[in-house]
Amino acid sequence: MQLYDIVVIGGGPAGLAAAISAKEHYEGKVLILEREKQLGGILNQCIHNGFGKNIFSEDLTGPEFVQKFIDKIKELNISYKLNTTVLNLSDTKEINVVNSEVGTFKICAKTIIIATGCRERPRGFSNLPGSRCAGIYTVGCAQKFVNIEGYMPGKEIVILGTGDIALTVARRLTIEGANVKAVIESKNVIDAVDKKLCDSLKDFNIPLKMMHKVVDIQGKGRIEGITLVKIDSNNEVINGSEERISCDALLLSVDLYPDNELAKQARIVVNSSTGRIKLNENAQTNIGGIFACGGVVQGYNFHESVVKQGYAIGESASLYANNSEI
């Protein structure tokens, strides 16, 4: 069994900030566990700028922003394990872990910080009519394809939904040479928190179809097209409004839901409606010595907010570890 004072599960911006803060306030052994091949979390695939203005007084891309935290992690000699998956977490603060380097192993810690972020959950799209063929992806998956893996999800693309990631991906795909034939929204307002993203659709001549919904998906081996209709304020189909759009990829803008499975394993209390981990007045979960920060607590939020919370939680965790024994 490996012993650490503080273990951070998740190497995204919140987890990195928590680890840095913990190490700056406590001289014990700090470890970050990250399931991907690099630290930084989802911001590694956000290559547009707009990050870091209030933290570093710079306008940075996502990778540039997280690199500043990674540099600090290395400066402080904080240990981290990449390509490492946490299999389960107990309420006694024991962690079962697996990676290709050593196989399965167990870690015991004085203090644990859960910073597992959010994951895409295609809730609401499971009842889409038509074929379930290749070429249907979430927008986050498509963003990773393009910005990290280096290949396109398709050439003729339709995007269903208007969240922040969806509009960012629409712009990015157009820059990369794809024909984004439509962004479709069933409501009369866009979902994106950053409303300025809507301007990018106009800038790149990407059609935005409000008050529309998909009623059919065509294709056998791979998607070949979709049929959409216009709806009124009562969500009723307007007669004669059917339109077919040929495409080889359909991207779904989906809910970002707190990745709380490990918390549930440890019998940590989560909000039944939002899925967010609940923290008490001491910034801990209901299990003493287990803290949480970032998306798994706040839900989807701006990067600066999760980083700020990560710093605060790291300090709280260090105070707990300083007064505890393994």
**pLDDT band for position 127 (cuts 50, 70, 90):** low
Q: Is the alpha carbon torsion for 70, 193, 295, 28 positive or negative?
A: positive
Residues in the chain: 326
Q: Please name which of 135, 172, 128, 166 lies closest in space to residue 248, comparing C-alpha atoms.
A: 135
pLDDT of residue 136: 92
Segment 60-89 mean pLDDT: 96
pLDDT of residue 197: 86
Confidence of residue 258 (pLDDT cuts 50, 70, 90): very high
Q: In what order do the strands lie in the sheet with 249-252?
A: 136-138, 249-252, 156-160, 179-185, 208-210
pLDDT tens-place string over residues 227-240: 999 999 998 999 99
Question: And the tokens for 179?
Answer: 């024909």
Q: How far apart are CA 166 and CA 145, in angstroms?
A: 14
131, pLDDT greater than 70: no
Buried b or exposed e, range 273-309, using 16+ CB within 10 angstroms = eebbbebeeebbbebebbbbbbbbbbbbbebeebbbb
When mean pLDDT is compared across 62-71, 120-129, 314-323, the lowest value belongs to: 120-129
In the 8-state DSSP scheme, what is residue 95?
Answer: E
Q: How far apart are CA 216 and CA 134, in angstroms?
A: 15
Ordered DSSP codes for 273-294:
TT-PBP--TTSB-SSTTEEE-T
Q: What is the pLDDT of residues 18-67, one digit of tens each?
A: 999 999 999 999 999 999 999 999 999 999 888 999 999 999 999 999 99
Give the side-chain half-sphere CA count within 13 A for 293: 35
Task: Look over the chain and give the mean of its residue pLDDT values, rounded to a whole number.
Answer: 93
Tell me what pLDDT residue 200 has. Answer: 87
How confident is the model at residue 300, as a pLDDT? 80
Quote the Cα angle for 140-142-146, to 5°. Answer: 120
Span 121-148, average pLDDT: 81
> Exposed (0-12), middle (13-18) or buried (19+): which is 86, by Cβ within 10 Å?
buried
What is the per-residue pLDDT for 130?
Answer: 72
pLDDT classification of 255: cutoffs 50, 70, 90: confident
Tokens for 217? 């998906």
**Helices and strands in the chain: count of H runs, count of E runs:** 8, 19
Contact present, 225 and 218 (Cβ < 8 Å) = yes
On whether the CB atoms of residues 306 and 14 are closer than 8 A, the answer is: yes
pLDDT of residue 175: 94
Percentage, residues of the chain above pLDDT 90: 82
Query: How confident is the model at residue 120, as a pLDDT?
Result: 86
d(Cα 226, Cα 125) in Å, to the nearest integer?
A: 14
Beta bridge partners of 118: 258
Residue 323: its pLDDT value, please?
82
Element (H, E) at 243: strand 243-246
pLDDT (0 to 100) of residue 325: 61
Question: Is the CB of residue 208 less than 8 Å from the CB of residue 201?
Answer: yes
**For the residues 276-286, what does the mean pLDDT come to?**
93
Residue 326 has what pLDDT? 53
Is 62 within 8 Å of 43 (Cβ atoms)? yes
Is 133's pLDDT higher than 80?
Answer: yes
**Which ranges of the chain does DSSP label H, i.e. alpha helix?**
13-25, 62-75, 139-144, 164-175, 197-203, 261-265, 295-298, 303-322
Structural domains of the chain, with CATH: 2-119+256-322 (3.50.50.60), 124-253 (3.50.50.60)
More confident residue, 214 or 193: 214
pLDDT for residue 210: 96
Provide mean pLDDT across the span 159-168. Answer: 93
Are 300 and 118 contacting, i.e. CB atoms less than 8 angstroms apart? yes
Give pLDDT, residue 128.
74
The mean pLDDT value for 128-134 works out to 77
